Structure 1
Amino acid sequence: MKQHFGKDLTTGSIPQLLLQFALPILIGNLLSTGYSVINAIWVGNLLGQDAVAAVAVSFPVFLAVVALCSGATLATSILVSKAYGSKDYARIQQIVNNSWSMGIGIILVLMTAGLLLSETLLGWLGTPAEIMPLADGYLKLTLVGSAGMYLSFLVSSILRGIGDTMIPLVCILLSTVLNAVLDPLLILGAGPLPELGLNGAALASLLSSGTALLTGLLYMKRKYKQEPINPTGLALDKSIVGEIVKIGLLSFAQQMLVSMGYGFITVFVTSFSAASIAAFGVASRLDSIAAMPAMAMMMAVSTLTAQSIGAGKPERIKSILKWGILMNIPIILAISAVCVLFPETIMRLFVKEADVIQAGLRYLRIVGAGYLFFIFFYVSNGILNGAGKTLSTLIITLISLCVVRIPLAGLLARTELGLDGVWYAIVISFAVTTLSSLFYYGWGRWAKDIPGREQGTRNQGLGSELS
């Protein structure tokens, strides 16, 4: 077995390493988000308002599935990064084998439960009767596709744990291009392909994610044939499974809170009009695009932090935080400015109906300004995640959503602000997340048990050194 596979992120220029690691992730995340954006464009222009609304009400359930997939695979990435930083290759193999075993079990449960409960879940979200058949069929196919999504997430997380971000990008590029081609063909039907309507959009995503998975597996098998990142068998080691569950479950719970937050907001929005639902469905997807650069930086920060801790170099974390924030500023600022200044142009890319455009326009002007908070809290949360402190980020998310966003949205929606009150509640929750995350990072208690520090420094915490 080689002792130098992957990329060591514990030495060299931190801003250069962050850029090299984050840029492929950013491009990949933008392309991945392209799945939903491409679907939204084709669905909005080919099938109309009802289909857009059906996709919108399904979105919170889809977010819950993504939360489960990314939570478990985030745990794998963190554990692989720490083991790689400490050069413990035998442990990497154990983590990989256990992660694949858990993944197979999770997707079987997820697919079965989702298929049986899709209509019930949509009912809980207040789905109007006239779009229920559309939404139910779309959601069922989306849940079947979750198998490919989970396993492709797992492949990417393992590769990123050893510092390889280029092939996950290639896989996503291939699948996004395929999705863009298949969408209109399966929605409208062409040649031997049947006309599937909205279900065609879901099937296009399913086939595309499967392609990404197969491409990633072939790459790992060929380039890293003798390395410990390919599964050598199924295993369920109690200690490793416990670590994956501990980190992954907390991350899953955090992202589930985000999904539930969108679910509650969807319920509030459905009380206004079908046009409002469609507008929220489009505009909330733009939230994902706006967050992509910050999320890419969060992943880079998390991996650099985990490898630094594994290598006994926690003193690098202060610079990781500083450069992560500085590198976020220009791109997030530009995205926020475009959304605030040109909201109508953006909405017209997705829908044609004037009432939907008007509702989305207000969303982008209000929430778009709040994207500036992404500059800060994604970086500080990335450090906490890299240190394995996912309970901290869970509590921060809990406060932001359950204490602030949901109650405030329900309250403001009943005032003269109406629908705008819901949008203002979202921005205020962004602010609370930022302040909470930066305060906890500066406090330093999260760092007290990091190995490689002198006992006196640990007793004081790393807040003064790293903040």
Structure 2
Amino acid sequence: MEDFAEKQVATATDLTKAPISQALLFFALPTLGSSVLQSANGSIDAVWVGRLLGTDALAATTNGNLVMFLLTAFVFGFGMAATILVGQSFGRHDIAMARVVTGTTVGAFVPLSIVVAIIGWFIAPDVLALLGTQAEIEPLARAYLQVTFLAMPAILMQTILMMTLRGSGDAITPLMFMALAVTLDVILNPLLILGSGPLPALGIAGSALATAIANYVSLIAMLIYIYRRNLPLRLRGDELRDLLPDLKILRLIFVKGLPMGIQMIVVSSSMLTMMRLVNREGVDTTAAFGATQQLWTYVQMPAMALGAAVSAMVAQNIGANLWDRVSRITRTGAVYAVLMTGALVLVLLLADRQAMEIFLGSDSPAIPIGQHIGRIATWGFVAFGVSMVLFGTVRANGQVIWPLIILFVSMYPVRLGVALGLHDWLGSDALWISFPVAMVSTLAMASILYLHGGWRKSSSMDIETHGPNAVVAEVSQTAEAALPCNALAPASPAALKIDVLD
């Protein structure tokens, strides 16, 4: 059995032995590619809806996309927690535990996503009323949102599987099937919106149905690929019992995943608050800021990809007790973040007018405003990139509460404090200055957390396996801010210890 497990480990990228600089770059680039594809897919879908159905239909999709984002945000947090546990298991070459974690995650969230889809179909009108959807677009928004809910089981399960695969060291498989989903979605959108041959014209519901079909087909294809290639996380025979969630592992995934999901909500809610302030500056300023946000979406992608790659690599190396490599991975990730994000910032500043014209047209009076916003604020994303790397490292050992607190402080007291406190003095420039100030403050606090936060201390949960499927968990409560103690102590060879801080 042990020989078989060793062979299975060899089928995935061993992030505990590969050269750090090369492995981190090759792992981050497919993750970056997946993010670019996902964002481009949303933009293309918006173009199809806007051009084929008009402005009202495009506005109606906003409601469905917001609901989908909120649900995906929470699942992202739980998927990240599972990624960390899978990564630490792979670092210890314990494939059985990696499969237990994967089975627990899938077995818990697939039924939950189906329940959400069914309930969501019936309560869609109530959700739209809660969001304050305008009466004239409510029928369109309802049709779009109901079909979007039907797509959620596939979208959420794909998200979980792709994240656990990355935890095992495989970033290529998620990229392949993200590309498949995006391609199908782009092709099916106009066919189902307008109808073609035997396909009926479904209007705005056709756009949501295209997304649903694309994701279900991609999910099925990915499962077939996982089993045909015998990837390490597949479950067969008696291993299918792992789909019955282990309650102690599920509790750990929930406790660690919930704060990471909330972080995305904090960032999104702070941006909505900023939009209220920007809207007071006039239509041209709002349009300029909207275009700037579109550009910033792509500027921050390398940082997000590097943060995910660093987290997966660090998790495996913590599992293998290679703490010297953990520090080197973090330093390398920080250098890449500065270089990659800095290069995009420089390109955007040099070609800011051309970039603005993509969204605003060549004669828009909002273009100079957008250029001004970019010159004041865009450089802050370099600090943001390094922060994501530091957060990726500390999260790999389960430190999830302090990153949430840091982001909340940066988004609200710092960013909004600067935007409101300096507005009488600086006018609208106070809004734009608040962005780099918040990012630099995030980096300062993240650096203190990384250097002095005690995240290396392993004390909150030990999971031991006595046989291939038996799991016994013992939980001990320790404050996250405790000083490091015995962080380098070797794990017992007779037990798997997944070290995650409370």
Q: Shorter-chain TM-score: which interval?
A: 0.7 to 0.9
1:2 shift after superposition:
4.1
User: 2:349 aligned to 336, 340, 350, which one?
Assistant: 340
Identity %: 31
- Do the aligned residues in 2 keep the contact of 1:126 with 1:267 (CA within 8 Å)? no
> Is 1:42 aligned to 2:42, yes or no?
no
What are the ranges of 5 or more consecutive residues in structure 2 without an aligned counterpart?
461-482, 489-502
Give the number of the structure whose residues are more often helix, by fraction.
Answer: 1
Change (3 A) 1:119 1:165: same
Partner SS for 1:3: helix
How many angstroms apart in 1 are the aligned matches of 2:426 and 2:134? 25
> Is 1:284 aligned to 2:293, yes or no?
yes
Q: Counterpart of 1:256?
A: 265
Aligned ranges 1:164-243 → 2 under 5 Å: 164-224=170-230, 232-233=240-241, 234-243=243-252
- Do the aligned residues in 2 keep the contact of 1:294 with 1:378 (CA within 8 Å)? yes
- Do the aligned residues in 2 keep the contact of 1:10 with 1:311 (CA within 8 Å)? yes
Whichever residue aligns with residue 329 of structure 2, its letter is I
Q: Deviations over 1:84-107 (max 9, x none)?
A: 111222212221221112112331
1:309 shift after superposition:
0.8
User: 1:21 aligned to 19, 27, 49, which one?
Assistant: 27
Q: Deviations over 1:274-294 (max 9, x none)?
A: 777776666534433222211
Larger Rg: 2
Q: Counterpart of 1:314?
A: 323
Whichever residue aligns with residue 166 of structure 1, its letter is I
How many angstroms apart in 2 are the aligned matches of 1:311 and 1:141? 44
Q: Counterpart of 1:395?
A: 405
User: 1:74 aligned to 66, 75, 80, which one?
Assistant: 80
**TM-score, with length taken from structure 1:** 0.85
**TM-score, with length taken from structure 2:** 0.79
1:323 shift after superposition:
0.5
1:317 shift after superposition:
1.4
- Do the aligned residues in 2 keep the contact of 1:384 with 1:392 (CA within 8 Å)? no
> Is 1:294 aligned to 2:300, yes or no?
no
Partner SS for 2:6: coil
- Do the aligned residues in 1 keep the contact of 2:300 with 2:385 (CA within 8 Å)? no
Whichever residue aligns with residue 414 of structure 2, its letter is V
Q: Deviations over 1:52-109 (max 9, x none)?
A: 5444565543331221121111111111111111122221222122111211233134
Q: Counterpart of 1:7?
A: 13
Change (3 A) 1:198 1:270: farther
How many angstroms apart in 2 are the aligned matches of 1:357 and 1:345? 9
1:414 shift after superposition:
8.2
Aligned ranges 1:374-453 → 2 under 5 Å: 374-406=384-416, 408-409=418-419, 417-418=427-428, 421-449=430-458
Whichever residue aligns with residue 308 of structure 2, its letter is M
How many angstroms apart in 2 are the aligned matches of 1:10 and 1:271? 52
- Do the aligned residues in 2 keep the contact of 1:60 with 1:260 (CA within 8 Å)? no
Q: Counterpart of 1:95?
A: 101
- Do the aligned residues in 2 keep the contact of 1:61 with 1:259 (CA within 8 Å)? no
How many angstroms apart in 2 are the aligned matches of 1:439 and 1:104? 38
Change (3 A) 1:153 1:126: same
| C-alpha RMSD of the superposition | 3.4
The more displaced of 110-119 and 30-39 is 110-119
Whichever residue aligns with residue 375 of structure 1, its letter is G
- Equivalenced residues, count: 456
Partner SS for 1:388: coil
Change (3 A) 1:49 1:440: same
